[in-house]
Amino acid sequence: MVRGEAELFERTAHLFAAATEVSCAARDLHTWSVAHPTAPEREQAVRDTNVRKMYLPGVLFDPALAGHLRFMATHGARIRITEREINETILLDRRIAIVAGDSVGEVRSYTVISSPDLVQGIQSLFEAAWAGATDLESYQARFTELGAREILEQLASGCKDETAARTLGVGLRTYRRRVAELMELLGASSRFQAGARAREAGLL
Amino acid sequence: MVRGEAELFERTAHLFAAATEVSCAARDLHTWSVAHPTAPEREQAVRDTNVRKMYLPGVLFDPALAGHLRFMATHGARIRITEREINETILLDRRIAIVAGDSVGEVRSYTVISSPDLVQGIQSLFEAAWAGATDLESYQARFTELGAREILEQLASGCKDETAARTLGVGLRTYRRRVAELMELLGASSRFQAGARAREAGLL
DNA sequence: CCGGGAATGGCACTTTGCTGCCAGACTGGA
DNA sequence: TCCAGTCTGGCAGCAAAGTGCCATTCCCGG
């Protein structure tokens, strides 16, 4: 059990360096992937390592994150998106598991597990979740082909649904269905919140 | 008649430099006030000149604009906010009027008027609008005392109005009234738009 | 103490937004 | 051709948001 990312990194750096298979699930990557960007000299390392990463849909909306994901993807990492709530977890070579706990204030505690049985169990859960997740590409395709751009424009224009639907040449029901999908993707439960998040993610 | 701000500036710089009374109405100041920030050596000039500026409420929400306004205000300029739609207009010493026309593509045309009768007419319109506008300070006070911060928090949280009202300890009607005022202030006609603008203005 | 203006919040009502259901159109594969 | 899966959009019903009206309360100057 370690507290804070700094300590986690210090203690596990050698494990990461030696790993040939890294599986990672995360809600976002503000925590550490961004704080510790992959250095150029590590590109080869990424390529040599079997890297799998699984995120919540929200990551698609952070420009910095999206860039990072694209970088990882072009260097051999496999990225998937899951709809389900997941705990942040890292698996190394099927021998080490790192599970994030609750954050107490600003610091987050991490549990490093090496017990084979436990790691095995966690690994199987990860595999199940991985199997149920969607590849980043197809997910992105689904998003872009959604016509999200147009929908967002209409929403941001402040016009009412009926007007927007007519402008886009689509039925009212369909327009609202799109808005609902978009809001789910943004993790928003009100239109105000959706507007704020869309803007936050630089989608406007 | 001149096209584009560059040309306008080139041709009118000497007029601005010599003016002792500058009255200005604008929807925003992306156009020129920001593009041509007041240089330090002009502080004294601002102080010596009788400067009046009139804007739409929206300007309060752009950090850069707000900063500029504060700068101008602390250096003797009088700033007012008007609810009415206004055309961008500049009046110099009651002898010269500059009226912005429609923008054709990226370039905006400006009409520089020196005819005393015309200028006199425009000046009177400006005075009328000015008289009906609100001082920046009182406008800002109205905004801050509104408890906008709390309202915005609730809106951004995505909860429903009833919950938000209960959280803030006010009636549903009052909460919605506040939201409506806020939306008017933001110039938004839908909550999505309000969310986007609030975020855009850095209010979240 | 009193009167007037502003703020509040309850109530009723309209509008707008959200969603389940279902029928019809479209698509790709057997 | 037929079938199954997907997408669409109309309809209905409901939830949420927006608004006018008005009684009540609060505050402030007279």
Of residues B148 and A169, the one with the higher pLDDT is: A169
Range with the poorest average pLDDT among A63-77, A113-127, A150-164, B105-119? A63-77
Phi-psi domain of B143 (left: phi exceeds 0; alpha: psi -120 through 50; beta: other)? alpha
Distance CA B152, CA A195 (A): 12
* Tokens encoding B153: 């928090």
Q: pLDDT tens-digit profile of B72-97?
A: 777 878 888 776 667 788 889 988 88
Question: How many angstroms from the chain centroid is the CA of residue B83?
Answer: 10
Q: pLDDT tens-digit profile of A107-120?
A: 777 888 888 887 88
3-state secondary structure of B159: coil
Give the CA distances from residue A112 to residues A98, A109, A120, A155, B22, in Å, rounded to whole numbers and listed in that order.
4, 10, 14, 45, 68
Across the interface, do B192 and A158 touch by the CB < 8 Å criterion?
A: yes
Detail the protein residues whose CB sits closer than 7 A to any atom belonging to strand C: A 160-162, 173, 176-177, 179-180, 183, 190-191; B 169-174, 177, 190
Q: Specify the pLDDT at position A20.
A: 86
Q: Which of residues 130-169 of A touch B (CB under 8 A)?
A: 155-160
DSSP state of A82: -
Per-residue pLDDT at B18 exceeds 50: yes
Helices then strands, counting H and E runs in chain A, come out as 9, 8
Across the interface, do A196 and B156 touch by the CB < 8 Å criterion?
A: yes
Of residues A74 and B21, the one with the higher pLDDT is: B21
Summarize the confidence of residues A184-191 as an average pLDDT: 84
Q: Specify the pLDDT at position A192.
A: 95
Is B22:B91 a contact under the CB 8 Å cutoff?
yes
Q: Specify the pLDDT at position A74.
A: 77
Q: Mean pLDDT, chain A, as a whole number? A: 77
Q: Specify the pLDDT at position A40.
A: 47
**Which residues from A are below 8 Å from B192, CB to CB?**
155-156, 158, 191-192, 194-195, 198
Q: Specify the pLDDT at position B155.
A: 92
Q: Work out the pLDDT band at B17, boundaries 50, 70, 90.
A: confident
Of residues A39 and A89, the one with the higher pLDDT is: A89
The candidate with the shortest Cα–Cα distance to A3, out of A109, A101, A150, A103, is: A109
Rg (CA), chain B: 19
Strand B96-104 vs strand B89-92: parallel, antiparallel, or unpaired? antiparallel
Q: pLDDT tens-digit profile of B156-183?
A: 999 999 999 998 888 899 999 889 888 8
Contacts of B160 (CB under 8 A, 6+ apart): A190
The candidate with the shortest Cα–Cα distance to A115, out of A100, A90, A95, is: A95
CA of A109, C1' of D9: distance in angstroms: 50
* d(CA A191, nearest CA chain B) in Å: 5
* d(CA A19, nearest CA chain B) in Å: 41
Detail the protein residues whose CB sits closer than 7 A to any atom belonging to strand D: A 170-174, 177, 190; B 160-162, 173, 176-177, 179-180, 183, 190-191
The candidate with the shortest Cα–Cα distance to B164, out of B191, B127, B197, B144, is: B191
Range with the poorest average pLDDT among A41-55, A183-197, B37-51? B37-51
Q: Specify the pLDDT at position B69.
A: 76
Q: pLDDT tens-digit profile of A167-186?
A: 888 989 999 998 988 888 77
**Nearest residue for C18, CA–C1':** A176
Distance CA B36, CA B145 (A): 33
Of residues B177 and A44, the one with the higher pLDDT is: B177
* d(CA A190, nearest CA chain B) in Å: 5
CA of A201, C1' of C15: distance in angstroms: 31
Q: Work out the pLDDT band at B193, boundaries 50, 70, 90.
A: very high
Per-residue pLDDT at B29 exceeds 60: no
For the entire predicted model, the pTM comes to 0.58
* Tokens encoding B155: 């809106």
Q: pLDDT tens-digit profile of B99-122?
A: 887 666 667 778 888 888 888 878
Residue of A nearest to B179 (CA): A192
Of residues B190 and A204, the one with the higher pLDDT is: B190
Q: Specify the pLDDT at position B62.
A: 58
Distance CA A120, CA A89 (A): 13
Per-residue pLDDT at A160 exceeds 90: yes
Q: What percent of chain A has pLDDT over 70?
A: 74
